[in-house]
Amino acid sequence: MDAFAFSPAPSPNAAPFPSASPSSRGHRFSIRGPRRRRPLPALRSSAAPSASHHDVVVVGAGIVGLSIARHLLLHTPLSVAVADAAVPCSGATGAGQGYVWMSHRTPGSDTWDLAVRSKQLWEDLAAEMDGLRAGGARESLGWMKTGSLLVGRTSKELATLEEKTKVLSQAGINAECLSASSLHALEPALCVRNDGGAMFLPEDRQIDVFQAVSLIEKINRSYSPKGRYMELYNDPAMSLIRSEVTGRVEGVQTSKNILYGRKATVVASGAWTRSLLHSFLGPNSTLDIPVKPRKGHLLVLENFDMLKLNHGIMELGYVDHQGDNSHSIHLSSTSNKDEHDAASISMTATLNTKGHLVLGSSREFKGFSREVDKSILKSIWDRAGEFFPAINNVHLDIDEDKEIRIGHRPYMPDGKPVIGFVPDMSNVLIATGHEGSGLALFCEMAS
């Protein structure tokens, strides 16, 4: 696969649409069979849907979709409609820990430039909020200047961290490799072996995703009185509307509305993108984007005072989440003998602005199931106890009323997000496949 970025428009007559691609190469779409030329039929409904006209229609109200809308509203004269089958933060966005980190990025990789740009956009937004209102970015974004610690517990892992520190430092990132004793001085509750240590990035940040999304929604809604913004939640997209003459996509029909998009339609529906496109294009579709849902659990313990953290913390095994790795725990799957279906547990730990302890994280392929798996939660707790001995004396009653976040990361087999124009559709774009990095790569189409 080529390095990911915006693909060039497939037609020289494509409607103009802003793009700030870091390169001219794009993540290629897989095409099978002949081109589909027949217009898609409109969805029939017993009630006449309401029709509205916009410049851009965005399908998906996660952090990526809302950020696309925000950028267009702030930096162009275009009008935007955002439609979602549910509400913001009901998918992968709301099930994350809010990392805005560079510690698990690799300079020169396909996602490096976007990660650098995304972090700067968050920094700019935080600075803007600090200058505008009392409470500033902490109150409006849950913005915390915690820094990050990427932790290893063996000499081999420490050697890996030393090399990562060197590479990041050469790329201009403020990074320091800490011995076990230096790490203990920063995080007394964290326990690693004597030959372990951590990579410390003091300029990494974290946010509260619910506060951040609320802020972006507020900014977007400020354009509603000007006739430039509309949001339609709990209104799933059902089909594309195409010209019977040219076949060009003219908009999207939802369960309740017809949304015409004069300039473009953007599909930013995360793990649902593949099934949604199949629904849009029908059984004879020539397009296949192999994005699939990768389920994750997070455990949130409110006002947990048995553990004090000064930084965001992640074990080295989390970095290798795209493939099988030796640093995190793998649990056997009871439903599928395929090793790829096994659950993987990596320790992540943060305290949010409310003082709640957020522990993670798990990765597994279970379709779109939102069922709570108590064995996964127990494994997350047990894994955390290996790094934080103080919690081993705390009884965790999983049946108590605790906040458990479950989301579906949009996973791509090669680890690269898919961003660009849909082949044979000059005004339809896709942004998906960021796996667990939606916050850290949120500028992928938002700038």
Nearest to 436 by CA among 53, 111, 41, 168: 111
pLDDT category at 415 given cuts 50, 70, 90 is confident
Inter-residue contact 360 to 97 (CB < 8 Å): yes
Q: How far apart, in whole angstroms, are the C-alpha atoms of residue 215 and residue 220?
A: 9
Per-residue pLDDT at 184: 96
Nearest to 115 by CA among 128, 127, 125, 105: 105
Q: Identify each DSSP E strand in 108-204 by its residue range.
A: 148-152, 176-179, 197-201
Q: Which residues contact 261 (CB under 8 A, 6 or more apart)?
A: 54, 55, 56, 57, 81, 249, 250, 251, 252, 427
What is the pLDDT averaged over residues 413-434?
91
Per-residue pLDDT at 442: 62
Residues 8-43 as b or e (16 or more Cβ within 10 Å = b): ebeeeebeebebebbeebbbebeeeeeebeebbeee
Q: How far apart, in whole angstroms, are the C-alpha atoms of residue 178 and residue 165?
A: 10
pLDDT in tens, 310-325: 999 999 998 865 444 4
Two tokens at 25? 């190469």
Which range scores top for mean pLDDT: 30-39, 78-87, 339-348?
A: 78-87
pLDDT category at 79 given cuts 50, 70, 90 is very high
Per-residue pLDDT at 16: 39
Per-residue pLDDT at 31: 32
pLDDT category at 6 given cuts 50, 70, 90 is very low
Q: Identify each DSSP E strand in 60-196 by its residue range.
A: 80-83, 99-100, 148-152, 176-179
Per-residue pLDDT at 47: 61
Please state, for a pLDDT cut of 90, what percent of the chain lies above it.
Answer: 68
386: how many CB neighbours lie within 10 A of its CB? 14
Per-residue pLDDT at 436: 82
What is the pLDDT averaged over residues 123-141?
91
pLDDT category at 11 given cuts 50, 70, 90 is very low
pLDDT at 196 over 50: yes
Per-residue pLDDT at 329: 57
Nearest to 212 by CA among 124, 144, 143, 132: 143
pLDDT in tens, 242-297: 999 988 999 999 999 999 999 999 999 999 999 999 888 887 777 889 999 999 99
Q: How far apart, in whole angstroms, are the C-alpha atoms of residue 142 and residue 162?
A: 31
- Which is more confidently placed, 257 or 38? 257
Q: Which residues contact 371 (CB under 8 A, 6 or more apart)?
A: none
The overall average pLDDT reported for the chain is 84
Inter-residue contact 207 to 144 (CB < 8 Å): yes
pLDDT category at 342 given cuts 50, 70, 90 is confident
Inter-residue contact 410 to 435 (CB < 8 Å): yes
Inter-residue contact 188 to 72 (CB < 8 Å): no
pTM, two decimal places: 0.85
49-144+205-290+413-446 has which fold? FAD/NAD(P)-binding domain (3.50.50)
Inter-residue contact 260 to 241 (CB < 8 Å): yes
For residue 236, CA distances in Å to 44, 60, 263, 369, 439 come to 15, 9, 21, 19, 23
pLDDT at 401 over 80: no
Inter-residue contact 187 to 148 (CB < 8 Å): no
Inter-residue contact 146 to 312 (CB < 8 Å): yes
